[in-house]
């Protein structure tokens, strides 16, 4: 799935229709996808794109949620000087503003249970380190097709959760709070 994609026919669980369920200030009927889904077989390794530290890790058990998730905080203060193609190729003002903000949080969702087992807040993560593995349907939030949901935020999350989808009415604010992951991944579509 793409970032900024309206998935009005995909999200059928109550989780996405709940006007009472607020995550990081977002609520309502949520259909606009704010991350990128990268598919692969169950057990596919998921790697850190930069040096960072674990912000939080946990399990979101509701049907359609993330299942096992790890959130990593990254300090990008040296990213522009050290970048050797890890960060996306775009050279625009929004991407440069992200680097100058210095800190960025990345959520890696739909992982297997071993991915969160020994993850502790503050734990150091090295660039290229395996953060986790793609989980099966019984541990990834109930998604039949294994994938990792990769999402960025410029604000520290309250927990190991972020709204992977927001309401269309919140699109403008969400695109600022949750930058397009192609900033890191490059132009994959």
Q: Give the angle 9-10-11 at the CA atoms, nearest 5°.
A: 105
d(CA 3, CA 102): 22
State the pLDDT at residue 33: 86
* Cβ contact 135:115 at 8 Å: yes
Nearest to 72 by CA among 123, 14, 21, 38: 123
State the pLDDT at residue 112: 97
Rg over alpha carbons for the chain, rounded to the nearest Å, is 15
Give the max Cα distance, the chain: 45
Between strands 147-153 and 36-39, the pairing is: antiparallel
State the pLDDT at residue 70: 98
State the pLDDT at residue 130: 98
Other CB atoms within a 10 A radius of the CB of residue 104 amount to: 22
C-alpha dihedral over 16, 21, 25, 27, to 10 degrees?
40
State the pLDDT at residue 161: 86
Structure tokens belonging to residue 73: 């905080």
Other CB atoms within a 10 A radius of the CB of residue 174 amount to: 23
Task: Report phi then psi at 149, rounded to 5.
Answer: -95, 120
State the pLDDT at residue 94: 55
Query: Digits of tens for pLDDT over the chain (189 positions)?
Result: 899 988 766 655 565 566 666 555 655 666 778 999 999 999 999 999 999 999 999 999 888 788 999 999 999 887 765 655 555 544 555 555 555 567 999 999 999 999 999 999 999 999 999 999 999 999 988 888 999 999 999 999 999 988 888 888 889 999 999 999 999 999 999
| pTM (2 d.p.) | 0.83
Nearest to 113 by CA among 170, 77, 152, 59: 59
């Amino acid at each position: 799935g793409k970032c900024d994609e309206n998935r009005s026919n995909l999200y059928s669980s109550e989780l996405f229709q709940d006007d009472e369920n607020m995550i990081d200030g977002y609520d309502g009927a949520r259909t606009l996808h704010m991350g990128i889904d990268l598919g692969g077989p169950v057990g596919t390794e998921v790697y850190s794109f930069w040096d960072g530290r674990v912000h939080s890790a946990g399990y979101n058990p509701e049907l359609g949620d993330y299942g096992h998730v790890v959130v990593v905080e990254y300090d990008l203060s040296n990213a522009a000087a050290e970048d050797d193609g890890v960060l996306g190729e775009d050279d625009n003002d929004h991407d440069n503003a992200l680097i100058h903000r210095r800190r960025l949080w990345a959520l890696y969702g739909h992982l297997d249970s071993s991915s969160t087992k020994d993850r502790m807040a503050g734990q150091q993560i090295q660039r290229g380190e395996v953060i986790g593995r793609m989980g099966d349907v019984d541990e990834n939030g109930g998604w039949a097709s294994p994938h990792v949901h990769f999402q960025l935020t410029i604000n520290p999350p309250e927990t190991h959760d972020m709204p992977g989808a927001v309401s269309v009415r919140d699109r403008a604010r969400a695109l600022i709070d949750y930058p397009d992951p192609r900033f890191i991944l490059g132009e994959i579509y």
